[in-house]
């Protein structure tokens, strides 16, 4: 019965998504997303951040379709750049350069593009399939959550993030704490007291996560790009029908890798690992299981299929924790979730009950948009690639200009443009010194929710922190969080122990 | 790189201490209605101070053992970055005076003409076209007024 109900809702969502206005919004979003994905410096996260002010004038369903489509577009677009220019337009597209670029270089650019975008399509379909059928179940379950459980979910999120990023745990923690502190600047929502404003007026308004995202990702990325002295030398590509046919055959041949890639992506997308580790993990998996390991790095088909399916699967399934638990699975989702809060919607399980049309409109649009996106990329990849041939001295100032508009338009405050530049410098330093940025953005977006969950839980427990370990739901979540957090330490410890043993026996 | 690592960590530690000072003023204990206003940020600040302490410690250790390591910014990279940062900062300062649209005309013109050394005709065309387009889209279509600065509103006649 539940499944029937879901299908019914999906139909409702699909019919909302194919309304002419929403369809138009979806296409605009996809085109902007692909452009943003292709351009270095701009990505899904700050593409969405810049567009948020524009969405204030739209109904929420159209607004979320626009932002979500920018995200899908950026997922597609990042790969075009990787394959044709050997420059990953997005961090999750790094793994695609390993085999995508060699394949394009050897004269099969069309085939590489088709392989990549079709794999994206498959990853997306599997991701959205999970979303359609599991999101309502998880949302139903999450309705039982009280403040301690919400806090536990967030602790689990951040503990997974600290360890999955592959960066130093200390630095990840610093990034998370800093994000929470920035979120707390300004008025305390409970007591009404001003916090950490030090008597200055500009700090009273606090820090907007949108400005932080634009600065950290956009401007910071720009500094990195010019520092490395970027050269754009691309391969010209045309997609012919034969390429499509070729790619389809390859995909059927590597169907196991395709499925594994998508599933790895979906799994990491639901946890807040995000698309980047997913694509690397899937690439590693494809390489590990392949019979012809020598082909990898020279243009192996499965070396394109696996990371692409994983990246897009992760991106799509990152929607699931966002709309069911109010926890975004990736930085871009964090921005979209911030948008939801600005539009007056509370992400989390109640969304399914109170705004069913919104949720199902979003899910419906994911189905529709990914098909349109696939078509757009296949048909117009050469045109999108041509954007990168625009001179850097035009692109660079225009990108900074667009970022400045986005930062200003959030609150119509001049000070935000200064913050954007400062965040840019911080982002550059953080990237250089290996402080992860994604957890910081997540903490900034979740700041108020996390703080009020912790405070309410402590009030419920009369100050006793054991409330966070209350059975039946919070306890396993916290244990899982601890497990995630200490897992790498244990495995390191075990390794050194076995190494010692081996040393003794020889 | 290692020097910068230590300096940045010390800077973050300073941020942590500044936060701690304010949360102690606000009170971080148990108040009349549960945790006080400074409660949550206090522990976040404390966390930063503790974590950066260990980062500095580790940084010093490797610094002593292996020397300064790679440069933070690649050779010649800093000039490139400043060429981006200074004009951008200049644009923002100009925005305070003449508004974003006019500041952008000058900024785009400067960057394309001086840094990009493009043909003057292209420079003028692009640096007029892009701000006009955003003026129409934001100020007119979406009714999002972009900053006018002190004198900007007298410069746009329509």
User: pLDDT, tens digit, for every residue of A78-99?
Assistant: 888 888 877 776 677 778 888 8
Contact flag A180-B41 (C-beta cutoff 8 Å): yes
Q: Does A10 touch chain B (CB under 8 A)?
A: no
Nearest CA to CA, how far is B34 from chain A (Å)?
5
Among A54, A224, A229, A394, the residue to mutate for chain B (most B Cβ within 10 A): A394
A-chain residue closest to B26, CA distance: A195
Under 8 Å CB pairs connecting chains A and B tally to 174
Model pLDDT, residue B52: 92
Q: What share of chain B is helix, strand, coil (3-state, %, to 5)?
A: 75, 5, 25
Determine, for residues B108 and A400 on separate chains, whether the beta-carbon distance falls below 8 Å.
no
Q: Model ipTM?
A: 0.90
Query: What per-residue confidence (pLDDT) applies to A116?
Result: 87
Tokens of A115: 């392989």
Q: Give the CA distances from residue A232 to residues A88, A168, A226, in Å, rounded to whole numbers and listed in that order.
A: 12, 32, 12
User: Which residue in A has a C-alpha nearest to residue B11's C-alpha?
Assistant: A426
Cα diameter, chain A: 73
Q: What pLDDT does A29 receive?
A: 92
State the Cα–Cα distance between residues A217 and A258, nearest whole angstrom. 30
Asked if residues A214 and A407 have their Cβ atoms less than 8 Å apart, the reply is: yes
Each residue of A239-282: pLDDT tens digit?
Answer: 777 777 888 888 888 888 888 888 888 888 777 666 777 888 88
Provide the whole-model pTM.
0.84
In contact, A481 and A176? CB cutoff 8 Å:
no
Say if residue A472 is preceded by a cis peptide, omega within 30 of 0: yes
B138 and A409 within 8 Å at the Cβ level: the answer is yes
CB contacts, 8 Å: B107 with chain A: 397, 401
**Phi first, then psi: what are they for A194, rounded to 5°?**
-85, 130
Contact present, A33 and A77 (Cβ < 8 Å): yes
Cross-chain CB nearest to B48 (options A174, A190, A451): A174
- A342 touching chain B per CB within 8 A: no
Pick A227's closest partner by Cβ from B4, B39, B74. B74
Taking 70 as the pLDDT cut, the residues of chain A under it are 1-2, 41, 89-90, 163-167, 229-234, 237, 272-274, 500-506
pLDDT of residue A506: 42
Q: Coil, helix or strand for A389?
A: coil
Please give the mean pLDDT across all residues of chain B.
84
Q: Would you tell me how many other CB atoms lie within 10 Å of the CB of residue A425?
A: 16
- Spatial separation of the C-alpha atoms in residues A239 and A422, rounded to whole Å: 43
Q: Which residue of A has its CA nearest to B44?
A: A177
Q: Is A226 close to B84, i.e. CB distance below 8 A?
A: yes
Say whether residue A425 is in contact with chain B using an 8 A CB cutoff.
yes
Distances (CA, A) of A63 to A43, A70, A151, A219, A238: 18, 11, 29, 25, 33
CB A378 within 8 A of CB A238: no
**How far away is chain A from the Cα of B141, in angstroms, using its nearest Cα?**
10
* B 77-106 near A (Cβ less than 8 A): 77-78, 80-81, 83-85, 87-89, 91-92, 95-96, 100, 104
pLDDT averages per 10-residue partition of chain B, 158 residues:
86 90 82 79 91 90 79 77 88 87 88 82 86 84 77 66
- B20 in contact with A at a CB cutoff of 8 Å? no
Q: Using a CB–CB cutoff of 8 Å, tell me whether A383 touches chain B.
A: no
Distances (CA, A) of A143 to A98, A155, A182, A338, A348: 44, 18, 29, 21, 9
CB contact under 8 A, B41 and A196: yes
Quote the pLDDT of residue A484. Answer: 78
């Amino acid at each position: 019965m539940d499944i029937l109900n879901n299908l019914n809702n999906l139909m409702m969502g699909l019919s909302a998504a194919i309304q002419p206005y929403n369809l138009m919004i979806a296409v605009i979003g996809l085109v902007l997303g692909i452009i943003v994905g292709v351009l270095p410096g701009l990505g899904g996260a700050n593409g969405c951040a810049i567009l948020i002010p524009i969405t204030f004038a739209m109904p929420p369903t159209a607004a979320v379709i626009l932002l979500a489509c920018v995200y899908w577009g950026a997922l597609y677009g990042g790969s075009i750049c990787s394959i044709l220019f050997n420059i990953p337009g997005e961090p999750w597209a790094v793994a695609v350069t390993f085999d995508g670029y060699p394949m394009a270089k050897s004269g099969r650019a069309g085939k590489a593009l088709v392989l990549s975008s079709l794999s994206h399509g498959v990853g997306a379909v599997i991701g959205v399939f999970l979303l359609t059928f599991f999101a309502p179940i998880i949302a139903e379950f999450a309705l039982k959550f009280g403040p301690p459980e919400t806090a536990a979910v967030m602790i689990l999120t951040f503990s997974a993030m600290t360890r999955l990023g592959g960066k130093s745990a200390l630095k990840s923690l610093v990034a998370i704490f800093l994000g929470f502190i920035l979120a707390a600047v300004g008025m305390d929502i409970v007591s009404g007291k001003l916090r950490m404003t030090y008597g200055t007026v500009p700090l009273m308004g606090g820090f907007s996560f949108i400005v932080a995202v634009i600065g950290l990702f956009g401007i910071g990325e720009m500094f990195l790009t010019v520092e490395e002295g970027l050269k754009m030398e691309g391969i010209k590509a045309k997609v012919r029908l034969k390429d499509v046919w070729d790619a389809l055959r390859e995909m059927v041949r590597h169907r196991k890798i395709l499925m594994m890639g998508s599933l790895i992506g979906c799994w990491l997308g639901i946890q807040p690992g995000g698309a980047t580790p997913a694509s690397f993990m899937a690439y590693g998996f494809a390489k590990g299981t392949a019979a012809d390991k020598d082909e990898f790095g020279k243009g192996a088909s499965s070396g394109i299929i696996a990371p692409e399916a994983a990246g897009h699967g992760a991106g799509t399934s990152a929607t699931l924790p966002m709309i069911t638990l109010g926890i975004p699975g990736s930085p871009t989702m964090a921005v979209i979730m911030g948008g939801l809060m600005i539009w007056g919607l509370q992400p989390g399980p109640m969304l399914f009950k109170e705004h069913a049309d919104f949720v199902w409109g979003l899910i419906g649009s994911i189905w529709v948009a990914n098909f349109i996106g696939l078509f757009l990329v296949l048909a117009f990849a050469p045109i999108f690639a041509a954007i990168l041939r625009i001179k850097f001295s035009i692109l660079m100032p225009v990108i900074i200009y667009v970022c400045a508009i986005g930062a200003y338009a959030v609150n119509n405050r001049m000070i935000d443009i200064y913050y954007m530049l400062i965040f840019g410098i911080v982002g550059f330093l953080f990237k250089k010194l290996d402080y992860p940025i994604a957890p910081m953005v997540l903490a900034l977006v979740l700041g108020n929710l996390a703080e009020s969950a912790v405070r309410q839980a402590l009030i419920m427990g009369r100050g006793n922190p054991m409330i966070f370990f209350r059975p039946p739901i919070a306890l396993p979540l916290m244990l899982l969080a601890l497990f995630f957090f200490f897992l790498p330490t244990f495995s390191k410890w075990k390794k050194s122990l076995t190494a010692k043993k081996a040393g003794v026996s020889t | 790189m290692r020097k910068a690592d230590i300096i940045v960590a010390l800077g973050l530690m300073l941020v942590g201490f500044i936060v701690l000072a304010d949360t102690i003023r606000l009170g971080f204990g148990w108040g009349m209605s549960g945790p006080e206003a400074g409660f949550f940020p206090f522990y976040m600040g404390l966390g930063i101070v503790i974590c950066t302490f260990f980062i500095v410690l580790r940084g010093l250790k490797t610094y002593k053992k292996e020397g300064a390591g790679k440069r933070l910014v690649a050779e010649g990279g800093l000039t490139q970055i400043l060429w981006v940062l200074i004009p951008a900062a200049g644009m923002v300062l100009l925005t305070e005076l003449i508004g974003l649209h006019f500041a952008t005309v000058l900024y785009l013109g400067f960057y394309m003409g001086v840094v990009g050394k493009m043909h003057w005709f292209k420079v003028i065309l692009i640096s007029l076209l892009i701000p006009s387009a955003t003026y129409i889209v934001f100020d007119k279509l979406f009714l999002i007024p972009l900053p006018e600065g002190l004198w900007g509103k007298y410069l746009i006649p329509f």
